[in-house]
Amino acid sequence: MKLKNKNAKEKNDIKISSKEDFTEIKDQKKVNFPSKKFLLLVILLVLLSGFLGYSFRGKFLAAVVNGKPIFRSQFNKKMETSFGKQVLENMIIEELIKQEADKNNILVTQEEIDKEKEKISASLSNNIKLEDALAMQGMTMEDFLHQVKLRLEINKILGKDLAVSDEEISNYVKNNKSSLTATSEAEQKEEARQILQNQKSQEKIQAWIDDLLKKAKITRFLQ
């Protein structure tokens, strides 16, 4: 009789133990199963990543050719190899000009820049706009105005060195009259003055820049 009761108790214990195990396994499944909020967050993150990747693809890609990407890093490396040194030299020269202008308290106003822009526009043929002329040279208006400002700074720095005398103008008209496009004497002198000033500017400015480069302490890291 005791043996029978003992077996019944053990069987009952086994059943209880099995029920507890089932509850524990069930609870574990509930804990491991992702919630709806978690899934929604993951979906939003994936969508956001895709949107940002599409929006900023230009930051990483230069082009895509038949599905194959050309990365911006490849493009930059090619540009640096082909034109990097020349671009760097131009940037160095521009920085030297800026430093000289600051040193000499040279200030170029927007009014002066606009006036020079109008003068250059007026010198073009009637059927050519300044914007079109710049586009043919691969320049933007921003680039052009930047160059105008640099030129005006140089003119102010060098000053008298770029001036053309009346004697020089008269001699040029006398010796090159047949090559001038102007007809009246006053227009011929003005044309001669501009030609001589451009020639003198190129000579003086190049010599001045060479001197700046020689005296400046420059460390170049681009090979």
What's the Cα-to-Cα distance from 3 to each of 6, 7, 46, 115, 204, rounded to whole Å? 5, 6, 65, 118, 122
* Mean of per-residue pLDDT scores for the chain: 77
For residues 172-188, average pLDDT: 84
User: Where is pLDDT greater, at 177 or 26?
Assistant: 177
Q: For residues 94 and 98, what is the distance between their CA atoms, to the nearest angstrom?
A: 6
Q: pTM for this one?
A: 0.60
Q: Which two three-digit tokens encode residue 104? A: 């000499």
What is residue 180's predicted lDDT score, i.e. its pLDDT? Answer: 81
For residues 27-56, average pLDDT: 54
Q: Which two three-digit tokens encode residue 133? A: 């002329």
> Positive or negative CA dihedral for 193, 196, 200, 205?
positive
CB atoms within 10 A of CB 122: 8
Q: Which two three-digit tokens encode residue 162? A: 């770029």
pLDDT digits (tens, 9 = 90+) for 93-116: 999 999 999 999 999 999 999 999
Per the CB < 8 A criterion, the answer to whether 101 and 155 are in contact is no
Position 57 confidence tier, pLDDT thresholds 50, 70, 90? low
Per the CB < 8 A criterion, the answer to whether 172 and 195 are in contact is yes
Residue with tokens 């230009």: 58
What is residue 105's predicted lDDT score, i.e. its pLDDT? Answer: 93
- What is the three-state SS of 138-163? CCCHHHHHHHHHHHHHHHHHHHHHHC
Position 39 confidence tier, pLDDT thresholds 50, 70, 90? low
Enclosing H/E stretch for 65? strand 61-65
Residue 55 in this model has a pLDDT that exceeds 90? no
User: Where is pLDDT greater, at 200 or 150?
Assistant: 150
What's the Cα-to-Cα distance from 147 to each of 31, 40, 86, 195, rounded to whole Å? 68, 54, 16, 19
What is residue 113's predicted lDDT score, i.e. its pLDDT? Answer: 94
What is residue 40's predicted lDDT score, i.e. its pLDDT? Answer: 62
User: Where is pLDDT greater, at 213 or 33?
Assistant: 213
